[in-house]
Amino acid sequence: GQNIDQPTEMTATEGAIVQINCTYQTSGFNGLFWYQQHAGEAPTFLSYNVLDGLEEKGRFSSFLSRSKGYSYLLLKELQMKDSASYLCAVRDKGTGANNLFFGTGTRLTVIP
């Protein structure tokens, strides 16, 4: 099976930097994804890591350590519109090739 853990809630200040951590356990790791989900809307893809290291995409970066079963999503220069849930998901080789298993999500609140 898969086990994915991330904090339930976080609060950060506009303009600041926030790091959202995710730890996972899976028998056949085949990639880690971060999605953003605003309340009542579809999850939207943010980033994908399959090799160790940092992937940077504008204000968002994602890091992966496969040996530690650990990832984080880094958001820089926070904006009010970044208030959303951030979902960590892993893909497992043992299931359908593209199937993703999600954590419960981290609800980020950005305050002025």
Partner 1 sequence: NAGVMQNPRHLVRRRGQEARLRCSPMKGHSHVYWYRQLPEEGLKFMVYLQKENIIDESGMPKERFSAEFPKEGPSILRIQQVVRGDSAAYFCASSPSSGANVLTFGAGSRLTVL
Does residue 8 contact residue 20 with C-beta atoms inside 8 Å? no
Tell me which of 24, 33, 63, 86 binds partner 1, using CB under 8 A: 33
Does residue 108 contact residue 85 with C-beta atoms inside 8 Å? yes
The amino acid present at 3, given as its one-letter code, is N
95 belongs to the binding site for partner 1 (CB under 8 A)? yes
For CA atoms 89, 83, 38, 7, the dihedral sign is positive
103 belongs to the binding site for partner 1 (CB under 8 A)? yes
7 belongs to the binding site for partner 1 (CB under 8 A)? no
> Exposure string (b/e) for 55-82, b if CB count within 10 Å is 16 or more?
beeeebbbbbeeeebebbbbbeebeeeb
CA distance 26 to 108: 26
Question: Which is nearer to partner 1, 4 or 12 (by Cβ)?
Answer: 4
Question: Which is nearer to partner 1, 31 or 74 (by Cβ)?
Answer: 31
80 belongs to the binding site for partner 1 (CB under 8 A)? no
Question: Which is nearer to partner 1, 9 or 77 (by Cβ)?
Answer: 9
Tell me which of 18, 69, 91, 108 binds partner 1, using CB under 8 A: 91
* Binding residues vs partner 1 (CB under 8 A): 30-31, 33, 35, 41-45, 48, 87, 89, 91, 95-105
